Amino acid sequence: MTDRVLDLRGLKCPLPALRTRKALRAALPGDLLAVDCTDPLSRLDIPNLIRETGDVLEAVEDGGDVVTFRIRKAQLGG
């Protein structure tokens, strides 16, 4: 399993969701992806994306200006 940080600070909607989707496609089952965003809309967009992809949103850390989403790539057949 690989931990990867995706720094999307400064990007505006829809780029954070698009880049997160691309990173999840490349991830292996069980991988953990930490996504750092500053776009306020990411607080809605990223959880909605995760519902669509079937992956797991393990944690959301809201640091005010930066929100970090910890996303676990779904296991195959899970």
In angstroms, the CA 4 to CA 40 distance is 22
Model pLDDT, residue 54:
96
Model pLDDT, residue 9:
98
pLDDT digits (tens, 9 = 90+) for 10-40: 999 999 999 999 999 999 999 999 999 999 9
In angstroms, the CA 37 to CA 6 distance is 9
13 is a catalytic site residue = yes
In angstroms, the CA 58 to CA 26 distance is 19
Q: Quick check: 50 and 57 in contact, CB under 8 A? A: yes
Amino acid symbol at 73: K
Domains and CATH numbers, the chain: 3-72 (3.30.110.40)
Question: Looking at 11, 13, 15, 23, which residue is catalytic?
Answer: 13
Q: Report residue 62's pLDDT band, with 50, 70 and 90 as the boundaries.
A: very high
Tokens of 6: 């995706």
